[in-house]
C-alpha cells in the first residue's frame, strides 16, 4: 500500500485543500496520514511566547479539523509537537507500509520555509517524493511571481492590480481562474496504520492526543473567561461567518469601504466587528482566501460595487502585496538593512510606557480600550490598530515599532508574519507605502475622527474600560479634563481609579514630528 503523509500547516481545513485534492486523484496514493506539528516553541504550558487566545484558537481549529476528517473520511488528525524533521522521521520509521509521498503546503514565513527545507534535506536519500503545494493560503504563487524577470516590489493597489492582470489570475467575470476546490469525496485512511503510529514507543514522545488538546483548551478558557472567547477557531466557524458576513449580505459587500467601518465595533455588541471578522480564519488557514474572493464576486452587483483598495477585494489584494514584499524585501522583519524601512532613531526602550500601552493603562481611554480588547479576545479593528501603533511610535511614545509588532505577534489570533510586519512598517511611517509621517492620529477622537468612533453612547469605551462606565460621554475620551465633581459623581477619580495620561499628547506629537523630520534629513 502506497501511503502519503499530508502535513497540514496553513490549510487547517478540508475545503479548497490542494493536498487532499491531489491525493484523491493521484494513482500513486492508496491512503494518507494527516498530521499537524505544533511548533516546538508552542508548548501546552501557559507560560510561553504565544498568547492564550492564539493557543486556544489553534487548539479549537485542530479539534475541528479532526472532527471534519472523521465525519467526512472516517479518519483522525495526528497532532505532534517538536522538531518537524524529527517528528516526520519518527512517523516514517514507526510503520512498515511504504510511505512514498510527503505533501506540504507552502508557507512564506522564514521559520516555516526552513522547516520544510530541513525536512526535505533529511529525506533526500530516501525514495519519498516531496511535493510542496503553492498558493494554499494566498491567491498568488508568491515564489513564482517574485522570481519573474521584471518583478518590482509593489507599493499600491494599482501596482497589485497590474500583477494580477499580468499573471492571469482573474477571469473576465471576476472569478479566480484557479478557484476554490470542493471537499474531496474519496480520501482513504487505513485505521491500523494510524493506530500503529500512535502506539509506537519512539513516536509517542511527540504525540499529543485529542483529549489533551481538549483539556488544555478548557483550562485556558476557564482561566481567562469563557465570555471573552468570541472568535472560536475552526473551519466550521469560518464557513458560518463567511455565510453570515458575505454570502448572505450582498449589500454589505457592494457598499463595503473599509476606511468607513466603525473601529469601536457594533453598537449592539461591543464584541462584533463592523468588518467581516474573517481575518483569524484566513490567516490560520481555516478559510480559503480564494473562496472568500469568489464569494464576494458571486454576490456583488456588476454595475454598483466599491472598488479596490477600499473594497473587500482591495483588502485581499493588500494582503497579497504584503506577502510579495515579505519574500522579496530582505530583512522584512527588521529595522536595519531593510529597503522598506527608513532608519529612524527611536527612543530607548521604555519598559514602563510599553507596559502601560500593552495592558491598557495609558490614561487615554480609546487606546486603552483597544489594547484591553486585544488582550481579552486576540482581535482589534484595523483602525484601532492604526491608532495604537501610531501612539506607540511616531505619535506619542517614540518607541521602536518592533516592540509593538512583537506584542501583536504574541496576542493577535489573526497574527500573520508578512502582514503584521507590513502593517507596523506602514503605520510607524517608515515604509515607502506609508502615510505621511506628520499625519498623526488623535488618541482622544471625537465624532469627526477618521478613526470612526461611536461617541454618543461610547459603549465600547464603557465596556472595555469599566472604570469609566459612569462618565458622561462629553468627558469619557479625555476624563482627566473632567471637573473633580464630575469624577466623584462617576465613581472614578483620575490618577487614582484610572491613570492620568502618561504623556502630554499635543507636546509629544509636536516633538515627534520634528524628530522624524530630522531623521529624514539625515538620509
Of 164, 158, 101, 93, which is closest to residue 128 (Cα–Cα)?
101
**Under 8 Å between Cβ of 139 and 289:** yes
Residue found by looking up cell 479576545 in the block: 377
The single-letter DSSP state of residue 331 is T
Residues 246 and 288: their CA atoms lie apart, in Å, by 14
Lowest-confidence segment of 19-23, 238-242, 267-271 by average pLDDT: 267-271
In the chain, where does the domain assigned CATH 1.10.579.10 lie? 351-521
CA torsion angle 224 230 231 234 (round to 10): 80
Region for residue 234 given its phi and psi (left: phi exceeds 0; alpha: psi -120 to 50; beta: otherwise):
left
Question: C-alpha 473: how far from its chain's center?
Answer: 33
Residues 296 and 256: their CA atoms lie apart, in Å, by 11
**Under 8 Å between Cβ of 301 and 295:** no
Of 88, 314, 90, which is closest to residue 202 (Cα–Cα)?
90
Residues 432 and 256: their CA atoms lie apart, in Å, by 26
pLDDT digits (tens, 9 = 90+) for 367-411: 999 999 999 999 999 999 999 999 999 999 999 999 999 999 999
**Quick one: pLDDT band at residue 46, thresholds 50, 70, 90?**
very low
Q: What are residue 79's DSSP bridge partners? A: 36, 208
**Percentage of residues in the chain with pLDDT exceeding 70?**
97
pLDDT digits (tens, 9 = 90+) for 51-96: 889 999 999 999 999 999 999 999 999 999 999 999 999 999 888 6
pLDDT digits (tens, 9 = 90+) for 90-129: 999 888 668 999 999 999 999 999 999 999 999 998 999 9
Fold classification of 2-137+187-215 (topology level): Rossmann fold (3.40.50)
> Is this structure's pTM higher than 0.85?
yes
Domain 351-521, architecture per CATH:
Orthogonal Bundle (1.10)
In the chain, where does the domain assigned CATH 3.40.50.620 lie? 2-137+187-215
Amino acid at each position: 500500500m502506497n501511503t502519503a503523509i499530508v502535513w497540514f500547516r496553513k490549510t487547517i481545513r478540508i475545503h479548497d485543500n490542494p493536498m487532499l485534492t491531489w491525493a484523491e486523484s493521484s494513482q500513486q496514493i492508496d491512503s494518507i496520514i494527516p498530521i499537524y506539528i505544533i511548533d516546538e516553541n508552542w508548548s501546552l504550558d501557559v507560560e510561553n511566547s504565544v498568547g492564550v487566545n492564539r493557543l486556544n484558537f489553534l487548539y479549537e481549529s485542530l479539534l475541528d479539523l479532526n472532527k471534519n476528517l472523521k465525519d467526512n473520511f472516517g479518519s483522525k488528525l495526528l497532532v505532534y509537537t517538536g522538531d518537524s524533521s524529527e517528528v516526520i522521521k519518527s512517523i516514517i520509521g514507526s510503520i512498515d507500509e511504504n510511505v512514498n509521498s510527503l505533501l506540504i503546503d507552502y508557507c512564506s514565513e522564514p521559520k516555516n520555509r526552513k522547516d520544510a527545507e530541513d525536512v526535505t534535506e533529511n529525506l533526500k536519500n530516501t525514495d519519498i517524493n516531496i511535493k510542496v503545494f503553492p498558493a494554499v493560503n494566498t491567491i498568488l504563487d508568491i515564489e513564482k511571481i517574485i522570481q519573474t524577470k521584471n518583478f518590482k516590489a509593489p507599493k499600491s493597489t494599482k501596482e497589485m492590480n497590474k500583477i494580477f492582470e499580468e499573471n492571469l489570475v482573474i477571469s473576465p467575470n471576476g472569478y479566480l481562474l484557479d478557484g476554490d476546490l470542493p471537499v474531496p469525496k474519496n480520501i482513504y485512511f487505513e485505521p491500523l496504520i494510524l493506530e500503529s503510529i500512535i502506539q509506537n514507543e519512539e513516536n509517542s514522545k511527540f504525540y499529543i492526543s485529542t483529549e489533551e488538546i481538549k483539556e488544555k483548551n478548557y483550562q485556558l478558557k476557564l482561566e481567562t473567561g469563557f465570555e471573552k472567547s468570541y472568535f472560536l477557531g475552526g473551519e466550521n466557524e469560518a464557513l458560518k461567518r463567511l455565510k453570515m458576513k458575505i454570502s448572505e449580505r450582498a449589500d454589505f459587500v457592494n457598499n463595503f469601504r473599509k476606511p468607513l467601518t466603525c473601529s469601536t465595533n457594533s453598537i449592539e455588541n461591543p464584541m462584533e466587528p463592523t468588518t467581516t471578522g474573517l481575518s483569524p480564519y484566513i490567516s490560520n488557514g481555516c478559510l480559503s482566501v480564494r473562496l472568500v474572493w469568489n464569494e464576494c464576486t458571486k454576490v456583488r452587483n456588476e454595475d454598483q460595487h466599491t472598488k479596490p483598495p477600499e473594497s473587500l477585494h482591495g483588502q485581499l489584494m493588500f494582503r497579497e502585496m504584503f506577502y510579495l514584499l515579505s519574500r522579496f524585501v530582505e530583512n522584512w522583519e527588521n529595522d536595519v538593512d531593510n529597503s522598506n524601512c527608513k532608519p529612524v532613531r527611536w527612543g530607548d526602550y521604555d519598559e514602563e510606557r510599553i507596559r502601560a500601552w500593552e495592558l491598557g493603562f495609558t490614561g487615554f481611554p480609546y487606546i486603552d480600550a483597544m489594547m484591553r480588547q486585544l488582550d481579552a479576545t486576540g482581535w482589534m479593528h484595523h483602525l484601532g490598530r492604526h491608532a495604537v501603533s501610531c501612539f506607540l511610535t511616531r505619535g506619542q511614545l517614540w518607541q521602536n515599532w518592533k516592540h509593538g509588532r512583537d506584542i501583536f505577534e504574541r496576542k493577535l489570533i489573526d497574527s500573520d508574519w508578512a502582514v503584521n510586519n507590513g502593517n507596523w512598517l506602514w503605520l510607524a511611517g517608515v515604509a515607502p507605502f506609508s502615510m505621511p509621517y506628520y499625519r498623526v492620529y488623535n488618541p482622544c477622537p471625537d465624532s469627526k475622527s477618521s478613526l470612526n468612533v461611536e461617541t454618543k453612547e461610547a459603549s465600547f469605551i464603557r465596556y472595555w474600560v469599566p472604570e469609566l462606565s459612569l462618565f458622561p460621554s462629553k468627558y469619557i475620551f479625555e476624563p482627566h479634563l473632567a471637573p473633580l465633581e464630575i469624577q466623584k459623581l462617576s465613581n472614578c477619580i483620575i490618577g487614582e481609579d484610572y491613570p492620568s495620561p502618561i504623556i502630554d499628547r499635543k507636546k509629544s506629537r509636536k516633538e515627534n514630528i520634528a524628530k522624524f523630520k530630522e531623521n529624514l534629513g539625515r538620509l
